[in-house]
Structure 1
Amino acid sequence: MAIAAALVIVPLGVLFFLSGLVVNLFQAICFVLVRPLSKNKYRRINRVVAELLWLELVWLIDWWAGVQIKLFTDSETFRLMGTEHALVIANHRSDIDWLVGWVLAQRSGCLGSTLAVMKKSSKFLPVIGWSMWFSEYLFLERSWAKDESTLKSGLQRLRDFPQAFWLALFVEGTRFTQAKLLAAQEYAASTGLPVPRNVLIPRTKGFVSAVSHMRSFVPAIYDVTVAIPKSSLPPTMLRLFKGQPSVVHVHLKRHLMKELPETDDAVAQWCKDVFVAKDKLLDKHIAENTFGVQEQNTGRPLKSLVVVMSWVCLLIFGALKFFQWTSLLSSWKGIAFSAIGLAIVTVLMQILIQFSQSERSTPAKVAPARPKNGGDQ
């Protein structure tokens, strides 16, 4: 991490990790004391508490880096966003797709009840991974033999979720890179599938399971397509922390769950067809630099700014009182202790940034080639 970048990132890291530990503590207390008595009351409380942390990352996009997220969808879908349960499937284009989803969820009023299916290692990330675990995110090992029962039980727990939630599922199984695209193209050519140009081939087992278990209580699937305009650099966590702006285009199409086919094979094929259409839509975006449908005004709410300013004031006041009470900075030992604390924050921020990078993401295992019209990959 360059020194100039560290001078910006470390103070933000101190803010994020200190406030995050406070949030995690409240989540843990509620998990132990409230959840055994009322799961739904715990969920309602956790929604508010988790937002106090997650809004800091929304602030990072909205007010620090000034990233513009432009939403393209019809007015009826825009009206329904945040008022209903939804299964969200999206291409995994950038390092911060999950954060783009958080921004749209915050605009729709359901940030605290936003969920995702993520790799198991994510829950061990300090602060943010812990907050996701308390918020009932689903963590998988990318081994269907182990993940099938985990996914099934996690989805069944959502049946009585008290607020409208979004469950994000990245069916490509990994983030998009050119190397992974080449592997997907080789696989498609060898099996007679449509050869993708802008997406990876969806791995449909998890999607089929999700539809099977959620069909009765989730009314809609949100088909999300993320694209970066030619004139904009792709956003990354490092660029966000540096305050570098970017533009992200998001196309959202709503499908009624009841209109999906009944059989597992047909549902799997539906998912594949959606990604073929998504690939063509991205071709159109590359050619025209827009999705060509109505852009909705999502605004830039003040809520995240208010939350961050409140955390700053609270933590500065707490730090001053702490240093005054302990006289920590009046001795070499105290100064050394403080320096070690800053070094730990620096390392944790580096881990968070590297963890988000698509080049470092682990690709899902590629199934062996099968004859054309064979079973699911």
Structure 2
Amino acid sequence: MAVPLVLVVLPIGLLFLLSGLIVNAIQAVLFLSIRPFSKSLYRRINRFLAELLWLQLVWVVDWWAGVKVQLHADDETYRSMGNEHALVISNHRSDIDWLIGWILAQRSGCLGSTLAVMKKSSKFLPVIGWSMWFAEYLFLERNWAKDEKTLKVTFLPYLHTKFDCLFFNVACYDFAQWGLQRLKDFPRPFWLALFVEGTRFTPAKLLAAQEYAASQGLPAPRNVLIPRTKGFVSAVSIMRDFVPAIYDTTVTIPKYSPQPTMLRILKGQSSVVHVRMKRHAMSELPKSEEDVSKWCKDIFVAKDALLDKHLATGTFDEEIRPIGRPVKSLLVTLLWSCLLLYGAIRLFQWTRLLSTWKGVGFTVAGLALVTAVMHVFIIFSQSERSSSARAARSRVKKD
């Protein structure tokens, strides 16, 4: 990591990690003290706490890097955003698609109640993964034999251990009601995001998808990967009764814009992202699991053609909707900065940490740790570093 970048990463990393640890500590206390008695109250408070943390990342994208997100949506979709529960499905085009989703959720007023289906390793990330765990994100292992049970049973954090599952089994509860059904009484409109391709788009993964399509007699994709529909089908079957809509989201980067990455954002380098959202009423989906799977696959075939058209014209057909750049994230980041700066000054005054070599060494070690954690964040976000990307590249090289 270059020295100039370290000078940028250190203050941003310190701000996010320290404020995040404060939020995590409060979340843990509330999880133990309030959630057992009032799940609704816990969720309302946790929504506020999660937003205090996520808004810092929104600030980095909006104000530090100045990434421009252009939303295309019809009237029905635009009016509905943030006013109803929704299952959001999207292609996984860039390293920061999840951040783009957060920006749109923040503009729609539901950032704190935005959830996602994530790979299991995400929950071990310091601060951000822990906060997602408290916020009831769903973590999967990309193994359907295990993930089917997770989707139907273990959505709640306290049902992640064998002991807890045994406890509820002894209590003779119906496991299905402890799964995604538990979102039925969520106190505010939520978005549950699901990247049905299962991994981020790369040229190597596209080639592997095209080879698979050819072997199965399927349409060969050009701009998307073939969706893995089992998780989607399971989510639809469980949530059909209380989630009124599916938001079909298409993300793409115009030809004239560089690909947005976490590294570029931290460097303060801007990009442009075009997003098209289309609302589909859940009631319009077919009833059988096989037909729901086909519906999802057809959506991605249409999405592929839509991206072909965007590549040729540089835009989508739907109207461009104003989403602005609210100052809320800027104010929250300034508030955290002032609070933590004051706390740091008082700490150094009280402990005289910099007055001894031992204290200086401890401080330098802490800063090195923050830099290392931020480096892990950057590496974790890079699609070319993912295990599925390495597997796809290896398979292509063998062929």
Fold-level match, TM-score > 0.5? yes
Answering whether residue 305 of structure 2 is matched by residue 280 of structure 1, we say yes
On the 8 A contact 1:85/1:218 being kept in 2, the answer is yes
Which consecutive residues of structure 2, in runs of 5 or more, have no partner in the other structure?
156-179, 393-399
Between 357-366 and 201-210, the greater mean CA deviation after superposition: 357-366
Distance (Å, rounded) in 1 between the aligned partners of 2:241 and 2:318:
31
Q: Tell me what 2:49 maps to.
A: 49
Answering whether residue 387 of structure 2 is matched by residue 350 of structure 1, we say no
Distance (Å, rounded) in 2 between the aligned partners of 1:361 and 1:274:
26
Instruction: Among all aligned residue pairs of Structure 1 and Structure 2, give the percentage whose two residues are the same amino acid.
Output: 70
Q: Per-residue deviation at 1:264?
A: 0.3
Secondary structure (helix, strand or coil) at the match of 1:233 reads coil
Between 221-230 and 74-83, the greater mean CA deviation after superposition: 74-83
Report the residue type matching 1:203 in the other structure.
R
Q: What is the TM-score with the length of structure 2 in the denominator?
A: 0.91
Answering whether residue 329 of structure 2 is matched by residue 304 of structure 1, we say yes
Report the residue type matching 1:335 in the other structure.
V
Identify the match of residue 270 of structure 2 among 221, 245, 250: 245
Distance (Å, rounded) in 2 between the aligned partners of 1:191 and 1:167:
31
Q: Tell me what 1:82 maps to.
A: 82
On the 8 A contact 2:76/2:279 being kept in 1, the answer is no
Deviations 1:135-165 (A, max 9, x none): 0000011111111111112212212111100
Q: Tell me what 1:230 maps to.
A: 255
Give me the CA root mean square deviation: 1.0
Secondary structure (helix, strand or coil) at the match of 2:268 reads coil
Q: Tell me what 1:209 maps to.
A: 234
Secondary structure (helix, strand or coil) at the match of 1:168 reads strand
Deviating runs (4+, > 3 A) in structure 1? none
Answering whether residue 319 of structure 2 is matched by residue 294 of structure 1, we say yes
Q: What is the TM-score with the length of structure 1 in the denominator?
A: 0.96
Q: Per-residue deviation at 1:292?
A: 2.5
> When the two structures are aligned, how many residues end up with a matched partner?
366
Report the residue type matching 2:204 in the other structure.
A
Q: Tell me what 1:93 maps to.
A: 93
Distance (Å, rounded) in 2 between the aligned partners of 1:299 and 1:132:
26
Q: Tell me what 1:166 maps to.
A: 191
Distance (Å, rounded) in 1 between the aligned partners of 2:148 and 2:75:
37
On the 8 A contact 2:227/2:300 being kept in 1, the answer is yes
Q: Per-residue deviation at 1:345?
A: 0.3
Q: Per-residue deviation at 1:68?
A: 0.4
Secondary structure (helix, strand or coil) at the match of 2:82 reads coil
Secondary structure (helix, strand or coil) at the match of 1:25 reads helix
Q: Per-residue deviation at 1:77?
A: 1.1
Q: Tell me what 2:397 maps to.
A: none
Q: Per-residue deviation at 1:10?
A: 1.1
Q: Per-residue deviation at 1:362?
A: 2.8
Which consecutive residues of structure 1, in runs of 5 or more, have no partner in the other structure?
367-377
Report the residue type matching 1:306 in the other structure.
L
Distance (Å, rounded) in 1 between the aligned partners of 2:364 and 2:211:
51
Distance (Å, rounded) in 2 between the aligned partners of 1:268 and 1:362:
26
On the 8 A contact 1:58/1:103 being kept in 2, the answer is yes
Report the residue type matching 1:101 in the other structure.
G
Q: Tell me what 2:285 maps to.
A: 260
On the 8 A contact 1:176/1:199 being kept in 2, the answer is yes
Secondary structure (helix, strand or coil) at the match of 1:195 reads coil
On the 8 A contact 1:171/1:207 being kept in 2, the answer is yes
